[in-house]
């Protein structure tokens, strides 16, 4: 589904991503771990089009996407929550969910002008879809609530709902478990499993090894901008190179 070849992203002289290559198989949940500063977030941002790569190739479903604008990558089905504008505090959960761009006819001036009926039908379809998605993540009863009144965990669920509105094929999640209490974490993990069972593909950065072990296979390990190894969660946890990287004795 995704092939990254020799990807480099430099900031000034710093090689945040330093020649990374890997392949993501469709319908997998792949984990990405590594110590702070390893380059994980930079790798995500470069894949999603928020950073232009210094060099290298990114092929998504057979099509090169390196250097494309984030919204074009988003519309191709590769979604990272950052590509979507942040939720508006003063809008409801339903409104925030409905505003995710999904090629809505209502966005286009000519359509608004000449095809009001079609736009209205499209808006109804969008609303129905948003309600389904909120139902799926368990926020249906909060659809009319202002986004600012949601707890941190509920905001994570809203983020997931908004990602799903885009009808993604590959979802990049950066630390979905961060700042989430254990019962909500169980809910989020359940939702990810269910989406995976329905055929979605995920790449997940996460520090919580429990989440990684329960959901992800394979697991990629980054250190100092490079891919250190990949393997099953058990293989990764038992590998001395990985322990070394976390302890700061980084390999060259």
Q: Report the interface residues with Mg ion, using CB under 5 A.
A: 40-41
Of 17 and 195, the one with the shorter C-beta distance to ligand ADP is 17
**Helices first, then strands: H and E counts in the chain:** 10, 10
Q: Which stretch binds ligand ADP (CB under 6 A): 8-16, 75-83, 189-197, 237-245?
A: 8-16
| Residue 157 burial class via C-beta count within 10 angstroms: exposed 0-12, middle 13-18, buried 19 and up | buried
Could you say which of Mg ion, ligand ADP, none residue 138 binds, taking C-beta under 5 to 8 angstroms by partner kind? none
**What is the token pair recorded at 146?**
């202002």
58 contacts 7 by C-beta, under 8 angstroms: yes
Binding pattern for the stretch 28-57 against ligand ADP, x by CB under 6 A and - elsewhere: ------x-xxxxxxx---------------
162 binds ligand ADP (CB under 6 A): no
Total chain residues near ligand ADP (CB under 6 A): 11
Q: Shortest approach of ligand ADP to residue 222 CB, angstroms?
A: 6
Of 89 and 178, the one with the shorter C-beta distance to Mg ion is 178
Q: Report the distance separating Cα 223 and Cα 50, nearest Å.
A: 21
158 contacts 139 by C-beta, under 8 angstroms: yes
Q: Shortest approach of Mg ion to residue 55 CB, angstroms?
A: 22
Q: Residue 140's CB: how many other CB atoms inside 10 A?
A: 15
Could you say which of ligand ADP, Mg ion, none residue 169 binds, taking C-beta under 5 to 8 angstroms by partner kind? none
Sign of CA dihedral 154, 159, 164, 166: positive
Of 196 and 207, the one with the shorter C-beta distance to Mg ion is 207
Beta bridge mates, 71: none
Residue 80: its H or E element: none
User: Which residues would be at the binding site for ligand ADP (CB under 6 A)?
Assistant: 11, 14, 16, 34, 36-42
């Amino acid at each position: 589904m995704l092939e990254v070849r020799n990807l480099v992203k430099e900031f000034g002289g710093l090689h945040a991503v330093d020649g990374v290559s890997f392949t993501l198989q469709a319908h997998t949940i792949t984990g990405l771990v590594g110590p702070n500063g390893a380059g994980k977030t930079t790798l995500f941002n470069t894949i999603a089009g928020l950073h232009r790569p210094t060099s290298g190739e990114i092929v998504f479903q057979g099509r090169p996407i390196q250097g494309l604008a984030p919204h074009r990558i988003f519309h191709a089905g590769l979604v990272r929550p950052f590509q979507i504008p942040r939720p508006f505090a003063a809008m409801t959960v339903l409104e925030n969910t409905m505003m995710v761009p999904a090629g809505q006819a209502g966005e286009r001036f000519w359509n608004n002008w000449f095809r009001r009926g079609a736009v209205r039908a499209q808006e109804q379809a969008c609303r129905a879809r948003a309600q389904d998605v909120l139902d799926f993540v368990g926020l249906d009863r909060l659809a009319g609530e202002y986004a600012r009144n949601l707890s941190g965990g509920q905001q994570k669920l809203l983020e997931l709902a908004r990602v799903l509105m885009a009808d993604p094929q590959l979802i990049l999640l950066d630390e979905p478990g961060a700042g989430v209490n254990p019962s909500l974490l169980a809910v989020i993990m359940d939702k990810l499993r269910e989406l995976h069972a329905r055929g979605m593909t995920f790449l997940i950065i996460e520090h919580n090894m429990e989440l990684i072990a329960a959901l992800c296979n394979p697991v990629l390990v980054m250190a100092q901008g490079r891919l250190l190894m990949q393997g099953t969660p058990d293989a990764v946890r038992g590998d001395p190179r990985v322990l070394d990287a976390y302890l700061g004795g980084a390999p060259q």
